[in-house]
């Protein structure tokens, strides 16, 4: 196996990406160098290949052009500059946006916002996926760091917000606290990246969508190895060829989105109480006791406003959680039954098939 000298231009530094590249590098005898760009005197051809996150900064773009002109094998791990002639393996940003919309829609939100500190092609892809997947009739605002305090003073509440990444989500949590908005009761927040250090070291822990960065980086390294094995004359510049997109990892739910939405306080309190107790056996009477709402009033509100009974809402939420958990193929169905408040696996199977026409196993197979 031939040794390769590979340059990494991965900015900002990403431990998951580095883990994926390191795993491949050890398997294939790569020698790794790291730089944010090449100096003018450095020759790109001193490297067999390059893995980069091509950002739209002048220094990096200039380096990327020199690499392209020399014909050095290269793979880009972003979609910010599709005009540049590199192979690409990157996160599916539109799918990230769609997953966020689904996450919030399942919790009953109709007021939505996007929050980011900057704007780029990646931001646009993520925002567009989010906007296109919102429920019919939903409202959508676009917030940024310059106007966020004004936006938080008069939003339609409750509002569900997708932040561009975990850093922006943390900024938004702080802004909410400074403006007297409760997270998640007033503002439910979802980040992107699922950085445990950042998401879990907050006064309100942050729910986040994983990007599968380690997997995409490993696949990018494998693609680079194939390109480096080709004679330079046989490497075909992909130009504007479609990127290979890696779907997001499941959402890790933490405190910042652990709520359900409804403008009427009594119904909202009941929905949240149901959501927080799904792993237990309970009925309408227990929800009335937990919320302090008389049982007859609770039944009337659900029938008049939601057009379903409290019991039907409990079942709806149990099945919605079961569907989310079934996407994790490593989780046993009997575990899912327990976490969703079904007394055993058979009961979950019977109810699931009655409501969906499929058994949990069949539904999992279809959705995978």
Q: What is the pLDDT of residues 21-66, one digit of tens each?
A: 999 999 999 999 998 888 888 899 899 999 999 988 888 899 999 9
pTM (two decimals):
0.78
CB neighbourhood size of 295 (10 A): 13
What tokens were used for 24?
């491949």
Which pair of structure tokens corresponds to residue 248? 């997001």
Integer Cα distance of 251 and 245 in angstroms: 18
Q: Which residue has the higher pLDDT, 106 or 134?
A: 134
Q: Return the domain boundaries, the chain.
A: 4-91+213-246, 93-210+251-257, 265-367
Equal CATH topology for 4-91+213-246 and 265-367: no
Q: Which helix (H) or strand (E) holds 103?
A: helix 93-105
Q: Mind listing the pLDDT tens digit for each residue in 175-227?
A: 999 999 989 989 999 999 999 999 999 989 999 999 999 999 999 999 999 99
Instruction: Assess whether pLDDT exceeds 60 at residue 238.
Output: no
Considering the domain 265-367, what is its CATH architecture? Orthogonal Bundle (1.10)
CA separation for the pair 15, 32 (Å, rounded): 15
Classified as helix, coil or strand, 113 is: strand
Please determine, for residue 99, whether its predicted confidence score (pLDDT) is greater than 60.
yes
Q: CATH number for the 93-210+251-257 domain, one of 3.40.50.2300, 1.10.167.10, 2.60.40.420, 3.60.20.10?
A: 3.40.50.2300
- Chain mean pLDDT for the chain: 91
Per-residue pLDDT of 245-262, as tens digits, reads: 999 998 988 889 988 888
Q: Which residues pair with 115 in a beta bridge?
A: 143, 163
In eight-state DSSP terms, residue 302 is I
3-state DSSP percent of the chain in helix, strand and coil, to 5: 50, 15, 35
Pick the CATH number of 4-91+213-246 from 3.30.1490.20, 1.20.120.1200, 3.40.50.2300, 3.40.50.970: 3.40.50.2300
**Strand order across the beta sheet in which 49-52 lies:** 30-34, 4-9, 49-52, 73-76, 87-91, 244-246
């Amino acid at each position: 196996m031939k040794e390769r000298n590979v340059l990494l231009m991965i900015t900002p530094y990403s431990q998951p990406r580095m883990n994926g590249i390191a795993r491949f590098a050890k398997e294939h005898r790569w020698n790794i160098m790291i730089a944010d760009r090449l100096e003018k005197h450095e020759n790109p051809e001193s490297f067999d290949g390059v893995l980069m996150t091509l950002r739209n900064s002048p220094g990096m773009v200039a380096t990327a052009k020199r690499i392209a002109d020399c014909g050095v094998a290269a793979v880009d791990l972003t979609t910010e500059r599709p005009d540049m002639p590199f192979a690409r393996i990157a996160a599916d940003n539109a799918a990230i946006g769609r997953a966020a919309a689904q996450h919030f829609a399942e919790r009953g939100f109709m007021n939505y916002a996007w929050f980011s500190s900057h704007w780029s092609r990646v931001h646009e892809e993520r925002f567009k996926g989010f906007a296109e997947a919102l429920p019919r009739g939903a409202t959508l605002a676009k917030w940024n760091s310059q106007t966020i305090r004004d936006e938080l003073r008069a939003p339609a509440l409750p509002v569900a917000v997708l932040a561009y990444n975990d850093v922006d989500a943390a900024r938004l949590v702080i802004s909410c606290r400074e403006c007297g908005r409760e997270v998640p009761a007033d503002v439910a927040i979802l980040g992107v990246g699922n950085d445990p250090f950042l998401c879990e070291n907050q006064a309100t822990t942050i729910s986040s969508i994983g990007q599968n960065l380690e997997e995409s980086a490993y696949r990018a390294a494998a693609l680079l190895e194939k390109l480096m094995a080709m004679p330079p004359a046989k490497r075909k510049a992909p130009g504007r060829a479609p990127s290979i997109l890696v779907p997001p990892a499941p959402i890790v739910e933490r405190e910042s989105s652990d709520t359900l939405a409804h403008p009427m306080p009594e119904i909202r309190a009941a929905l949240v109480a149901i959501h927080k107790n799904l792993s237990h056996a309970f009925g309408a009477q227990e929800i009335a006791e937990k919320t302090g709402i008389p049982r007859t009033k609770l039944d009337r509100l659900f029938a008049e406003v939601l057009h379903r009974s409290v019991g039907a809402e409990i079942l709806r939420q149990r099945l919605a959680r079961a569907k989310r958990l079934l996407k994790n193929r490593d989780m046993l169905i009997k575990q899912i039954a327990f976490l969703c408040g079904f007394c055993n696996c058979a009961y979950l199977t019977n109810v699931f098939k009655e409501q969906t026409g499929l058994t949990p196993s069949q539904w999992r197979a279809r959705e995978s």
